[in-house]
Structure 1
């Protein structure tokens, strides 16, 4: 019995020793964890104090002058100076910034201040208006060259996303205004616009560079556009290689698909002579004669006086719309006059951005006093060898063309 009691005492003592040892271990672990938490808090407080006391560090940002944009432009520029430097009035620039704000607005971080939205848009617009290099824009706006490149590209993407808002095919009352405008200005009935192409110089890709070599002896991509009587774009198709024929670009465009499906224009006809003349576009000589696309007679040296007169009237109407639109596009956004300094896969985005801004400026009234000096060095090159596409003179489109020949041969025309 006494032996059993001694055994129990020994077991109880052993258990107490185990509990005491475990408590000491737990207390040691707790002390280590507490010291670690205190050290982390001290480090966080020290880092916050350093960031607060030194908001800009040379390791992050090299000091640059912000004087031109922050002081000269924003505080002293008049509307004329805005137009000279950015090819648009200050009011139009503010409208553009308002349209882009939902897509481009950013927030300030602890490491550095973000470039304000207005400044990023100004960098991109200045590049499009002048074609200046990233180095020149970096010195002018006081930001890094990589930041300049990023600003230009993100603004071009955001503006191109607004294409459906600013470039639309005419419908309803707008379509009637265009038809009336062509008849009043150019004397051409049932005309809903003119369609043509313009070549934009690019750096050819390493592969298939010959596809971009056009008949004018340079590398380019093609901008096909339909324009109204005020030289505003109503449809664009951009990105085809410069070596592709204009008619091929047309046949693969959304414009052609809509026209062939009957969704381009409503079936409103006008009786001229004894022929029902539908609503049509005026096309370049390289295009085929179609029910919705009116082109000139091929000049084979045997045209009648009436046919030559018709060709002159059609050419004058096209020049007053399409050639004028392309000239003003490149005159305002002069980056399109020289080789677009981006990868060819991105060049279509830059050209499309310029087309959207062209319509924005036209709708805002910036075209009312378009300076003739902006058109200096702007030449619209006409592809060689496109004297006209022979048409079936027995079909309905040929009958419409003959009716217009007689219409323009009248005594009061």
Structure 2
């Protein structure tokens, strides 16, 4: 897919305005988000839900095999953290699709600053983050057949809370259908398109 110079310029401008669209909560915003997640899941202290999402692309000309994911198509990963309303509060993308979500997190700028950004709060995550050194993520317990009723209920609570991030990815892909299959081989352009979609996802709905 050939993108016009005008669109590329627009994408470049949007990429420099990311903080205006996606921003980390502070002070009372964290408390409001924690209250919302507690209402939904019953879990205390969670201000967001984290997950990774594959964005299908064409095979890049350089190290193309790195982008083949476990589902046998080429993709880049998008890591999203959303608040209780399903708005992105942190995004990171461009990592090859074959990379595990835990490694994706470790590669992100967020991971380098998580202590300062999270403070006393935590995120809700799925089984991809189990057994990793992520003390700021609440994860379900792996079901090896020996879980107690309390463990199962807690897993259900986490699942209810983190559904917001999956729904956010789904809504974004429905609204910006090009994200279902980006016919691009330039990763720099792919990253700009994905980030632009995340930013536009956060814009308030018009009345």
Measured against the shorter chain, the TM-score band is over 0.9
Matched, 1:359 2:202: yes
Choose between structure 1 and 2: higher strand proportion: 2
Equivalents in 1 of 2:173, 2:153: separation in Å?
30
SS of corresponding position for 2:9: helix
SS of corresponding position for 1:263: helix
Equivalents in 2 of 1:349, 1:334: separation in Å?
16
Matched, 1:221 2:54: no
Note the C-alpha offset of 1:289. Answer: 5.8
Deviations along 1:229-281, one digit per CA (max 9) or x if unpaired, are: 0000011110000001111111121221112xx201234xxxxxxxxxxx210
Matched, 1:296 2:136: no
**329, 351, 373: which is aligned to 2:172?**
329
Aligned 8 A contact 2:52 2:79 in 1: yes
Match of 2:116 in 1: 263
Aligned 8 A contact 1:157 1:353 in 2: no
SS of corresponding position for 1:199: strand
Aligned 8 A contact 1:198 1:326 in 2: yes
Match of 2:158 in 1: 314
5+ residue gaps in structure 2?
none
Choose between structure 1 and 2: higher helix proportion: 1
Match of 2:102 in 1: 247
Within 5 Å, which residues of 2 pair with 1:177-188? 177-188=32-43
Equivalents in 1 of 2:182, 2:118: separation in Å?
36
Equivalents in 2 of 1:236, 1:283: separation in Å?
15
SS of corresponding position for 2:23: coil
5+ residue gaps in structure 1?
1-132, 135-147, 268-278, 369-413
Aligned 8 A contact 2:54 2:77 in 1: yes
The structure number with the bigger radius of gyration is 1
For the aligned residues, what is the CA RMSD?
A: 1.7
Deviations along 1:333-391, one digit per CA (max 9) or x if unpaired, are: 1110123435223201110111111112xxx234x9xxxxxxxxxxxxxxxxxxxxxxx
Equivalents in 2 of 1:215, 1:296: separation in Å?
23
Equivalents in 2 of 1:183, 1:194: separation in Å?
12
Equivalents in 2 of 1:226, 1:340: separation in Å?
26
